[in-house]
Amino acid sequence: MTEVLLVIDVLNDFLDPAGALFCGPRARAIIPVIRSLLDHFQRQGQPIFYLTDAHRPDDAEFALFPEHAVTGSWGSRIIAPLTPPKDAKIIPKTRFSSFYATDLEAELRRVGPERVWVTGVCTSICVMDTVGDLRNRAYSPLVVDDAVADFDQQFHEFALIRMERVYGAKRIRWGDREPSPEAPA
């Protein structure tokens, strides 16, 4: 069974305290969880796609948010502890949904996953819009509660419930899983 791991916007601007749109201390806690998921998916030989904000300096999104993740800047880089494994694909994006004007749709069609795991930031923005667009395309989304975070904790909690009820997203906590024999903790 093919399962895909999506890792959304794990960039310096969102996850480093010096970043332009740092998501806060709760967002730091998702880093080791995503690291563990990356190692797990890599061991299983399952596809991993990073979706990375990559804006032009004059991007229209900066009417809504402070400038962030400008292509080539420090803030646009993936944070060091989540450096992509060598087989991972990096897919730049410019909008909240990971599908808007990106290669994600073609990549998913190529691998035909039975489930798509979603991690990263922010729960109520890029994560939720991506989960909605997965459902619109009849993919089964799975959200890892302890691998997503938001600037706003209320939005985070609301988004998790909405993704579950409206988009039929399955939810798990990766930190709570039983240790498996081939993957000792």
Strand pairing report for 3-8 and 141-149: unpaired
> In this structure, are residues 179 and 143 in contact, taking their beta carbons and an 8 Å threshold?
no
Q: How far is the CB of 92 from Zn ion (least distance, A)?
A: 11
Size of the site for Zn ion (CB under 5 A): 2
Q: Which one, 53 or 133, has the nearer CB to Zn ion?
A: 53
- How many Å apart are CA 44 and CA 37, to the nearest integer? 10
> In this structure, are residues 31 and 73 in contact, taking their beta carbons and an 8 Å threshold?
no
Q: How far is the CB of 68 from Zn ion (least distance, A)?
A: 6
Residue 114 identity (one-letter amino acid): E
Q: How far is the CB of 164 from Zn ion (least distance, A)?
A: 25
Q: How far is the CB of 36 from Zn ion (least distance, A)?
A: 26
- How many Å apart are CA 128 and CA 74, to the nearest integer? 26
Q: Which one, 53 or 150, has the nearer CB to Zn ion?
A: 53
Q: How far is the CB of 58 from Zn ion (least distance, A)?
A: 13
Does 53 bind Zn ion (CB under 5 A)? Our answer is: yes
- 34 class by beta-carbon count within 10 Å (0-12 exposed, 13-18 middle, 19+ buried): buried
Does 13 bind Zn ion (CB under 5 A)? Our answer is: no
Does 9 bind Zn ion (CB under 5 A)? Our answer is: no
Q: Which one, 75 or 113, has the nearer CB to Zn ion?
A: 75
Q: Which one, 53 or 145, has the nearer CB to Zn ion?
A: 53
Q: Which one, 19 or 47, has the nearer CB to Zn ion?
A: 19
Query: Which residues contact residue 66 at a Cβ distance below 8 angstroms, ignoring those fewer than 6 apart?
Result: 20, 21
